[in-house]
């Protein structure tokens, strides 16, 4: 493989993506709906911020308030949580639309044979296609982030340095999520002989990984661990300290038993990994917790979700490796 051939193929694929009517239409819908999600998130953020200010003013007016208690200040990352819903749907569809016919269409039009007659190696073709698609997804995510920051500034919301770092990590993790589905689409495109079939198969996988697995994971956990333990049949306010402690211990044991089962299903679902990472990242941008303790920093949070990040990376690596091996062994006549 030569760098010149790789970059030539990547440049061609990137230009084809950016000038494709399909890419432009889906990207436009993605950006519009993401902006709409941002607007909804900003409204929710402003509502929570007003409630936070009211609580602060009430605490200052009341004497004898318990020391150390402070309401949790809402984070700007709440806005990006709303935006992530559009990424998990339209963003994934954009990634699938870019990859499902990269190879299958060339097989249908028999253009692979003429392409390989040029001074270019097979690995340069498949690697260039993957690189070109990756750059196009980075462009799409970068445009979405720039628009989101512009919307924040329009509404006079200025992120802090900690929140800017969290937004950057949000963008990087979102790219990993999109690359996971792009790699799946590229692999199916390499295996399938027709673009229509490749699209159907990829959408079925997207539906299973994004919608079926979370339901199956919860169902399996309920079957193994049973229903959630019920609290003692007394009024909660009259529950003794000993009864409350016993109930909390039982509830914690039940939760710990469910945890590895849910984790097992989470690892094999890009959507669940993505959602878990974002929930943790958003919690890291708060200054304090409800009881005045210092909230975990972004570095600490990333240390807790490194398995989920590794799982997203593994999706891209494994499915691209399958596509690479299949393409290199493909019989082209």
CA distances from 250 to 34, 172, 229, 243, 303 (A): 42, 39, 7, 11, 28
| Cβ(101)–Cβ(17) below 8 Å | no
User: Residue 158: CB partners within 8 Å, gap ≥ 6?
Assistant: 152
Distances from the Cα of 148 to the Cαs of 62, 80, 190, in angstroms?
Answer: 39, 8, 35
pLDDT at 290: 44
**What does the pLDDT read at residue 176?**
93
Position 235 scores a pLDDT of 47
Q: Who contacts 129 (Cβ-Cβ below 8 Å, separation ≥6)?
A: 9, 10, 13, 102, 103, 186
Please check the confidence at residue 163 and state whether its pLDDT lies above 60.
yes
95-120 pLDDT, tens digit per residue, is: 898 888 888 877 777 776 666 666 66
Q: Is the pLDDT of residue 37 over 50?
A: yes
- Do 148 and 174 form a contact (C-beta atoms < 8 A)? no
Give the CA angle between residues 163, 278, 68 to the nearest 5°: 60
- Work out the percent of the chain whose per-residue pLDDT is above 70: 82
For the chain, the domains span 3-328
Residue 28: which region, alpha, beta or left (left: phi > 0; alpha: psi -120 to 50)?
Answer: alpha
> Taking a C-beta distance cutoff of 8 angstroms, is the pair 98, 137 a contact?
yes
CB 166 within 8 A of CB 77: yes
Q: Is 86 in contact with 30 (CB distance < 8 Å)?
A: yes
pLDDT of residue 4: 73
Q: What percent of the chain has pLDDT over 90?
A: 9
Q: Is residue 177 within 8 Å of residue 87, measured between CB atoms?
A: yes
Name the range with the highest mean pLDDT among 63-72, 172-181, 246-255: 172-181
- Alpha-carbon span 93 to 33, nearest angstrom: 13
State the DSSP code for 239. Answer: -
């Amino acid at each position: 493989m030569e760098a010149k051939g790789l970059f030539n193929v990547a440049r061609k694929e990137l230009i084809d993506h950016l000038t494709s009517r399909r890419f432009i239409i889906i990207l436009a819908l993605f950006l519009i709906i993401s902006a709409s999600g941002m607007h909804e998130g900003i409204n929710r953020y402003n509502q929570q911020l007003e409630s936070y200010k009211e609580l602060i003013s009430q605490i200052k007016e009341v004497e004898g308030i318990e020391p150390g208690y402070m309401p949790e200040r809402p984070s700007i990352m709440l806005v990006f949580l709303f935006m992530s819903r559009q990424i998990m749907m339209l963003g994934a569809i954009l990634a699938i639309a870019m990859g499902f016919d990269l190879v299958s269409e060339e097989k249908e039009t028999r253009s692979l044979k003429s392409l390989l007659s040029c001074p270019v190696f097979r690995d340069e073709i498949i690697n260039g296609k993957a690189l070109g698609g990756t750059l196009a997804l980075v462009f799409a995510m970068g445009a979405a982030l720039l628009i989101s920051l512009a919307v924040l500034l329009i509404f006079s919301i200025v992120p802090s340095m900690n929140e800017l770092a969290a937004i950057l990590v949000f963008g990087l993790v979102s790219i990993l999520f999109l690359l996971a589905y792009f790699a799946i689409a590229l692999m199916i495109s390499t295996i399938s002989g027709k673009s229509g079939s490749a699209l159907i198969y990829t959408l079925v996988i997207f539906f299973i990984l994004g919608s079926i697995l979370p339901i199956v994971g919860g169902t399996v956990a309920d079957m193994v661990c049973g229903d959630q333990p019920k609290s003692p049949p007394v009024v909660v306010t009259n529950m003794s300290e000993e009864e409350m402690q016993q109930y909390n211990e039982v509830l914690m044991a039940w939760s710990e038993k469910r945890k590895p089962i849910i984790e097992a299903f989470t690892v094999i679902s890009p959507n669940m990994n993505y959602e878990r990472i974002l929930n943790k990242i958003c919690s890291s941008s708060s200054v304090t917790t409800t009881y005045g303790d210092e909230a975990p920093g972004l570095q600490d949070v990333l240390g807790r979700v490194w398995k989920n990040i590794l799982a997203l990376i593994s999706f891209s690596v494994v499915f691209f490796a399958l596509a690479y091996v299949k393409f290199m062994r493909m019989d082209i006549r």
